[in-house]
Amino acid sequence: MRTAPTILHLDMDAFFAAAEQAAKPSLRGKPVVVGGLGPRGVVATASYEARRFGVHSAMPMAQARRLAPNAAYLVPRFGFYRSISEQVMELLGRLSPLVEPLSLDEAFVDLEAGGVADDTGTAREAGERLRRDILGTTGLTGSVGLAGSKMLAKIASEEAKPDGLVLIEPGTERELLGPKSVRILPGVGPATGEHLRRAGMTTVSDLAEAGEDELVRLLGRAHGASLYLMAQGYDDRPVVAERDAKSVSVEDTFDVDLHDRVRIRIEVERLAERCVGRLRASGHSGRTIVLKVRRFDFSTLTRSETLRGPTDDPLVVREAAGRLLEGVDTTGGVRLLGVGVSGLADYTQEDLFAQAAEAEAAEAAEAGEESRGGGGGAVAEAAAAEAATAEESAAAGSRRFAPGHDVRHAVYGAGWVQGSGVGRVTVRFEEPGSAPGRVRTFLVDDPELVEGEPLPLVGGGSGAAAVA
């Protein structure tokens, strides 16, 4: 524990929704919900205006629509959010070489390591300066927590929301934490919280008074001892600039349960290709292939296979995932599939490349005229995409415009999709720095309407209204 509040935690306010409001002038000050829009979609982020109706992250999208039927519902634009995140992380890097990103919109910073703070006054000054810089650069707001530990800095930033700064003076931890719910502590989720409630412990002070032995008896040695220390405000975890990934994975939840075994196999192969793409982008290879299957009754099965050495070859991963699928009963239907690679390394095993090359040659020979020279993975991905979007394509023509995505018209310029269906697409033409724009509707196959690129946000005050 530090004697000065020199650990900073930044959490951007309703990040995805705020970014959409800043990019779309007509949505400023209005409820906005970002997430999956299918029947099984969930909320990724809700603006503060939408939260007033009870909408929150991880809520089923169908429930959100019932609570806030007049909100704007948009699909995520992760490339756009990532570009803003890079700007924010650059500002954090100016404060210290020790920046520990937790997600696109959240990070810890060690101010002491950067030489910008060594006491309460300089820490507060650094935090306020960061908030001003973020607003000036992106037009968005972030909440800042300052404390002598990571745990308390994160708690402080949560209390600072939205658009504030809270500093916890070292030495006041126990007094501050005592009356709060046990759920505020890291590692105490719904199940652990309920277990503690049944034992008569609902506040942090209850945990401190129970003692380490009692918590170990209830929760086990590691968890119980750790929780006892945290209940006293003790947390000595350092800010770590590089967080080593332990695994890479991708998964998809399907709007309708999959029953066809061939379709399921195609989806697994497609996920394997995507997983390898992420694996290579991270500069790793992996040795253990993992398949995740959630069935119609919500039971989840995980199967894994460990190879002779690490690989980043798509064919090797695809075939391993396929073998794992053969051992899973999917008779009743499948609602979610996932493929992952663990046991990561920064090199590959040469004999696995040779094995993959031989298998690929055999596969190509066996496919013959069916593949017409196309790669097996590409054929599988195309087939999966065709099956997954058949109904949408039938209704919307040859193109699909998702709500919230960017478009450009040859006459009217840049805009975003407000809605689509029955062969038409409705577009609002406006830009981040403009006034709210006009709405026009086009045929979905209008040649003058094409997909567009996200426009950069205008810094300073223009986007500040995005987070009321």
Note whether residue 237 is domain-resident.
no
3-state SS, the chain, equals: CCCCCCEEEEEECCHHHHHHHHHCHHHCCCCEEEECCCCCCEEEEECHHHHCCCCCCCCEHHHHHHHCCCCEEECCCHHHHHHHHHHHHHHHHHHCCCEEEEECCEEEEECCCCCCCCCHHHHHHHHHHHHHHHHHHHCCCEEEEEECCHHHHHHHHHHHCCCCEEECCCCCHHHHHCCCEHHHCCCCCHHHHHHHHHCCCCEHHHHHHHCHHHHHHHHCHHHHHHHHHHHCCCCCCCCCCCCCCCEEEEEEEEEEEECCHHHHHHHHHHHHHHHHHHHHHCCCEEEEEEEEEEECCCCEEEEEEEEEEEECCHHHHHHHHHHHHHCCCCCCCEEEEEEEEEEEECCCCHHHHHHHHHHHHHHHHHHHHHCCCCCHHHHHHHHHHHHHCHHHHHHHCCCCCCCCCEEEECCCEEEEEEEEECCEEEEEECCCCCCCCEEEEEECCCCCEEECCCCCCCCHHHHHHHCC
Residues 365 and 404 in one domain: no
Residue 386 has pLDDT above 70, yes or no: no
| Whole-number pLDDT of residue 368 | 37
| Whole-number pLDDT of residue 394 | 38
Here the tokens at position 27 are: 């949505």
Note whether residue 241 is domain-resident.
no
Least confident of 92-96, 342-346, 379-383, 428-432: 379-383
Cis peptide before 162 (omega within 30 of 0): yes
The last residue of one of the domains, among 371, 388, 405, is 388
- Give the domain CATH number at 411: 2.30.30
Residue 188 has pLDDT above 60, yes or no: yes
Output 170 or 1, whichever has higher pLDDT.
170
Side chain identity, residue 288: T
Residues 162 and 83 in one domain: yes
Note whether residue 282 is domain-resident.
yes
Average pLDDT over residues 378-403: 44
Residue range 145-181, pLDDT digits in tens = 999 999 999 999 999 999 999 999 999 988 999 999 9
Residues 76 and 162 in one domain: yes
Question: Which residues span the domain enclosing 406?
Answer: 396-452
pLDDT band at 255 (very low <50, low <70, confident <90, very high): confident
**Which amino acids are annotated catalytic?**
106
Side chain identity, residue 65: R
Residues 226 and 113 in one domain: no
Average pLDDT over residues 378-402: 42
Residues 412 and 347 in one domain: no
Residues 311 and 366 in one domain: yes
Average pLDDT over residues 15-38: 95
Output 436 or 389, whichever has higher pLDDT.
436
Residue range 298-327, pLDDT digits in tens = 888 999 998 877 888 899 999 999 999 999
Note whether residue 236 is domain-resident.
no
| Whole-number pLDDT of residue 376 | 34
- Give the domain CATH number at 113: 3.30.70.270
Note whether residue 239 is domain-resident.
no
Residue 388 has pLDDT above 60, yes or no: no
| Whole-number pLDDT of residue 361 | 41
The last residue of one of the domains, among 388, 421, 443, is 388
| Whole-number pLDDT of residue 238 | 92
Note whether residue 421 is domain-resident.
yes
Residues 306 and 356 in one domain: yes
The last residue of one of the domains, among 201, 231, 261, is 231
Residue range 192-244, pLDDT digits in tens = 889 999 999 999 999 999 999 999 999 888 888 889 999 999 998 899 886 66
| Whole-number pLDDT of residue 362 | 41
Note whether residue 240 is domain-resident.
no
| Whole-number pLDDT of residue 243 | 61
Residues 153 and 198 in one domain: no
Residue range 323-365, pLDDT digits in tens = 999 999 998 899 999 999 998 875 544 333 333 344 444 433 3
Residues 126 and 183 in one domain: no
Residues 65 and 114 in one domain: yes
Give the count of domains, the chain. 4
Note whether residue 44 is domain-resident.
yes
Residue range 91-132, pLDDT digits in tens = 999 999 999 998 889 999 999 999 999 999 999 999 999 999
Residues 109 and 190 in one domain: no
pTM of the model: 0.71
Residues 216 and 104 in one domain: no
- Give the domain CATH number at 201: 1.10.150.20
- Give the domain CATH number at 375: 3.30.1490.100
